[in-house]
Amino acid sequence: MNAVIKPNGELTLRTLAMPGDANAAGDIFGGWVMAQMDLSCGIRAAERARGRVVTAAVKEMAFALPVKIGDTLCIYTDIVTVGRTSMTLKVEAWAQRYLSHVMEKVTDAIFVMVALDNTGKPTPVPAE
């Protein structure tokens, strides 16, 4: 019996994969998927930092499955660690296949986000 794999983290973003985001074969560009993951990390980290954040690093990322036109891309984020000015997030991208309830994990990555003050300098992440 196969175990059901479910997303880890908090659902942070859902968006529709459109033809303008795809190559001629109907596969969504990896850069578009990565941009949605970055956007999700920005949302989640800004909420945690209660302010401005930037992406400092993206660790290894590999695509297991393609995203197709019409799929709903679902991005899940989990804040793994909080340092003095930075946060490390585990991010998973899942495709809800077009007109179905089938969810498949497309990729995952580790993003490092840094909190900034209003002058653009790193600032401490507040306690929860």
Task: Read off the pLDDT of residues 5-55 as tens digits, 9 standing for 90 and up.
Answer: 999 999 999 999 999 999 999 999 999 999 999 999 999 999 999 999 999
Q: Residue 2's pLDDT is what? A: 60
Q: Which amino acid is at 111?
A: F
* Residue with the two structure tokens 């109907």: 26
Evaluate whether 95 touches 77 at the Cβ level (below 8 Å). no
* Closest residue by Cα to residue 94 from 70, 69, 67, 112: 67
- pLDDT bracket for residue 4 (50, 70, 90): confident
Classify strands 53-58 and 10-16 as parallel, antiparallel or unpaired.
unpaired
Which pTM was predicted?
0.95
- Among 67, 90, 78, residue whose Cα is nearest residue 17: 67
Rounded Cα gap, residues 20 and 35, in angstroms: 14
Q: What is the pLDDT of residues 74-95, one digit of tens each?
A: 999 999 999 999 999 999 999 9
